[in-house]
Every structure is written in C-alpha cells, then in structure tokens.
Amino acid sequence: MPNWISIEKNDALLRLFIVDISLKLLVSPWATGDYIAAWGTAVSYATDGILLGIVFMQFKRFPKSHLVIFWVFVLTAFSYAISTFIFTDESMVGALINHLKLYLPFLAVPTAISLASHSRISIDHAAYFMIMMVMVLIIIGLATFPPSKNRTELWLPTYFGGLHTSAYVGLMTMFCFHALATYKRLSWFKAIPPMLLLIALITVGWGVRTASIGCVLFFLGQLASKFLFKNRPLVAVFFPLGFAIPAGILPTLDFAGDINDVSSGRIEMYIAKYDQLMANDFLNWVIGNGYLSDLILTDVWWWAPKGAHSDLITFLVEGGLVYFFGFITVLYQFIKHHNSLQERLIIVAIISTSIFSNGVFARPIAAYLLSIVFVIHYVNKRRLQQENGS
C-alpha cells in the first residue's frame, strides 16, 4: 500500500511538471515581448515557483550523478549574491531570481528523471503532447501575430516572445521529435515533417544564426559518427564543435561592408568586454562584478545598455571565475552522464548558442524543454537495458 501511494504521488507530480511547463509556454506572449501584461508575467513567475517546489520535493530522489548540479547552484548563488551586494546597487533578490532562471532548467533535468523513474505515466506520451502543443502554438503565431523584426529586417511572426526564444524553443522541440523517432516511440513518417518545418523556420523563417548553427552541428555530428568516426564516438561528438567558432566568425568576414555591422556589433562589444575584464582586481576576477554589471554602453548599439551577447562572457563578467567554472562543471556533468551520441551532440549544439549570443541557457522557456529531451533519452535507454537484460 505505501508503494502505491508513492506511485500515485509521483504520477501527480509528473503531471503537474508537464502541465506547469506547458502553461509557461502557453502564456509566453504575455510574459515577454510585445504583448507583455501583468497577468502573463504573474502566471510565468508562478509556474517557476511551482517547478521550484517540485524540484525540492524530488531532491532526495535525484540520481547521485546529478547532485553536483544542486551544490554548484547553491555555491554560485552565494557568490553571485555577495558580488552583487559589494559591487552594485542592484537588489540581491533580483540577482538570485536571475540566477534561478539559469539553474532551474538544469535542476529540472534530474527532477524529470526521478519523477519518470517512479511513475506509471509514459513520459513519451507526455513529451509528444507537449511538443505537439508547441507546434500548434507556432502555427497560431504564424497565422495571427504580426511579423517579427531583427537586424532591421522583417521575419516571420513568432509566438514565444521573440525570434531568438522562438528559435531555441523550436530547436529543443526538434530534438524531442528526433529522440522519440530514434527510440521508435514515434514513426519517422510522423517525426520528419515537423522537424523539417522547424529547421526551415529556424534557419530561413526566423533567421536566427546561433540556433541555425546548433542545427548544423547536431546533424553534422550524426554524419561524422556514421561516415568518419564510427569507432570513436567522442571524436564524432566534439568534431562539430570545432565548426562552432568558425561558423560564428565567418559572417563577420564580409570585407565589402563594415565588419562590425555584419557581426551585429559583437566585435566592438567583445573589445569593450576585454577592457572591462582587464580593469578587474583580484576579487572581481574571483566573484565577478555582480548582477547587471554586464550591461554597458557602446555607440554601435545606439548608446543603450547592452550585454555581451555571449553567455560565457556574461557569466565571467557578472559572476567571475567561480560562476564561470561552476557553469562549466555543470556542463561537464551533463556530458559525462548523458553519454549517448545524440545527448552529447545536443549539449554541443546548445553550447554553440551561448558562445556568440544569449543562448538556450539564458532563455528558460526553451531551456525547460531540455529537461524533456533528456528524460526521453534516459527513460528509453533504461527501457532498452531492461529489455536486453543488462
């Protein structure tokens, strides 16, 4: 009887987990972007609060391999709050909320894994429901919302609060379709059409370069594993990462125009970031300059305060070496323990979005879907091991 009660509890929590993330996706036009409203923001924050509650309820069931994520979360929160208090006039509450936005999606991964491991609910069915909902919302946005604008150009309408966030949501959704089809939980006949639509939207319809690079790296790694490095899967994984930096730099090599314009101002911003970091003293290097210290003025962006447009630089500026290496530690844990070729290629693709932009990690709406991607892989790898008697 106690086991039955435990299963029922996990069923309820897993349903709440899925509904909570789905609700956050649903209200995103009114939580961010052009349609922002007080009620939308309130609902979005409420979903974050509910998910945080589920995380703490499941903490004791986290896989041991993922516990380091929680301790890095705690350590870097403390360090970030201290640097904010010492070096800025910003609220430590604001700093901790910003910190939570980064780490809550990370914590959602072991939460989803622990829930799926102790539940009778099919995570494959739940994931399919969620990604089909995303596809419906994308189509609603395309049909009813006005065109989006970026780099002075008009692009197709988006539902999820802007071009970049929508592109990253699309990228995570594509990874979900691919995972379900790989494990034969969904036929390729049903998976390929929405995947092709998402790739077309990311690369052409929305024109988000970093998300497009993520797509290329994922499929490039698949091809490298199949044709170039069949017996060396780790080489096949990190082979495409070598293309991330050239792919980010090549658009700047248009010498017919202003190199800074082609890079959307990044070259000048990175030079300014170098100067900012070189002005740091020892303590600033260790714990950073605090929340929002990444925002600086440059003439290329109309003298408006802008961030580095690189998550890695932002973490180093605001949180110092403690924050930067804490983030690297979490990524290492994911690479170490999510060890299938596909999972590691997904991590490589996501890292690429953060090298030259505010990527997936900086956008919780998209990052929450990462937990769904990983739990699909975890549950199905476990199922195959049980079927094979290992």
The rounded distance, in Å, linking the Cα atoms of 124 and 137 is 20
What is the pLDDT confidence band of residue 255, given thresholds at 50, 70 and 90? very low
Do residues 143 and 150 touch, judged by C-beta distance below 8 A?
Answer: no
Q: What mean pLDDT comes out for the span 117-131? A: 89
Per-residue confidence (pLDDT) for residue 270, from 0 to 100 = 80
Pairing assessment for the beta strands 148-150 and 153-155 based on DSSP bridges? antiparallel
Q: What mean pLDDT comes out for the span 319-342? A: 90
pTM to 2 decimal places: 0.89
Range of the domain at 147: 2-387
The rounded distance, in Å, linking the Cα atoms of 45 and 369 is 17
The rounded distance, in Å, linking the Cα atoms of 387 and 390 is 8
Q: What mean pLDDT comes out for the span 153-170? A: 92
Per-residue confidence (pLDDT) for residue 83, from 0 to 100 = 96
Per-residue confidence (pLDDT) for residue 233, from 0 to 100 = 56
Q: What is the pLDDT of residues 45-61, one digit of tens each?
A: 999 999 999 999 988 88
Q: Which of 54, 73, 163 is nearest to 114 (CA)?
A: 54
Neighbours of 278 (CB within 10 A): 7
Count of domains in the chain? 1
Q: Is the pLDDT of residue 232 over 80?
A: no
What is the pLDDT confidence band of residue 78, given thresholds at 50, 70 and 90? very high
Per-residue confidence (pLDDT) for residue 65, from 0 to 100 = 77
35 vs 187: which has the higher pLDDT: 187
CB within 8 Å of 366: residues ≥ 6 apart: 160, 165, 168, 169, 171, 172, 360
Q: What mean pLDDT comes out for the span 165-193? A: 95
Token representation of residue 219: 């499929």
342 vs 151: which has the higher pLDDT: 342
DSSP assignment of 190-252 equals HHHHHHHHHHHIIIIIS--HHHHHHHHHHHHHHHIIIII-TT-HHHHHHTGGGGHHHHHHGGG
Q: Which of 272, 252, 256, 254 is nearest to 264 (CA)?
A: 252
pLDDT averaged over every residue in the chain: 85
Per-residue confidence (pLDDT) for residue 314, from 0 to 100 = 93
119 vs 76: which has the higher pLDDT: 76
310 vs 128: which has the higher pLDDT: 128
Q: Which of 202, 227, 232, 231 is nearest to 214 (CA)?
A: 202
Amino acid at 361: F
- The DSSP output letter for 32 is S
The rounded distance, in Å, linking the Cα atoms of 298 and 305 is 7
Q: Is the pLDDT of residue 299 over 70?
A: no
270 vs 171: which has the higher pLDDT: 171
What is the pLDDT confidence band of residue 2, given thresholds at 50, 70 and 90? very low
What is the pLDDT confidence band of residue 257, given thresholds at 50, 70 and 90? very low
Do residues 236 and 224 touch, judged by C-beta distance below 8 A?
Answer: yes
- The DSSP output letter for 39 is H
The rounded distance, in Å, linking the Cα atoms of 360 and 312 is 12
Pairing assessment for the beta strands 296-297 and 305-306 based on DSSP bridges? antiparallel
DSSP assignment of 126-194 equals HHHHHHHHHHHHHHHHHHHSPPEEETTEEE---SSSSHHHHHHHHHHHHHHHHHHHHTTSS-HHHHHHH
The rounded distance, in Å, linking the Cα atoms of 171 and 174 is 5
State the residue for tokens 């170098």.
274
Within 13 Å, how many C-alpha atoms sit on residue 96's CB side? 10
- Give the whole-number percent of the chain exceeding pLDDT 90: 52
322 vs 364: which has the higher pLDDT: 322
What is the pLDDT confidence band of residue 390, given thresholds at 50, 70 and 90? low
Q: What mean pLDDT comes out for the span 337-363? A: 87
What is the pLDDT confidence band of residue 213, given thresholds at 50, 70 and 90? confident
Residue 33: left (phi > 0), alpha (psi -120 to 50), or beta? left
What is the pLDDT confidence band of residue 132, given thresholds at 50, 70 and 90? very high
SS3 assignment, position 297: strand
Per-residue confidence (pLDDT) for residue 151, from 0 to 100 = 66
Per-residue confidence (pLDDT) for residue 274, from 0 to 100 = 85
What is the pLDDT confidence band of residue 337, given thresholds at 50, 70 and 90? confident
Q: Is the pLDDT of residue 281 over 90?
A: yes
Q: Is the pLDDT of residue 20 over 60?
A: yes
Per-residue confidence (pLDDT) for residue 39, from 0 to 100 = 94
Distances (CA, A) of 214 to 171, 270, 274, 346, 381: 8, 21, 26, 8, 24
Q: Which of 228, 226, 218 is nearest to 198 (CA)?
A: 218
Neighbours of 44 (CB within 10 A): 22
Q: What mean pLDDT comes out for the span 131-147? A: 95
Per-residue confidence (pLDDT) for residue 149, from 0 to 100 = 83
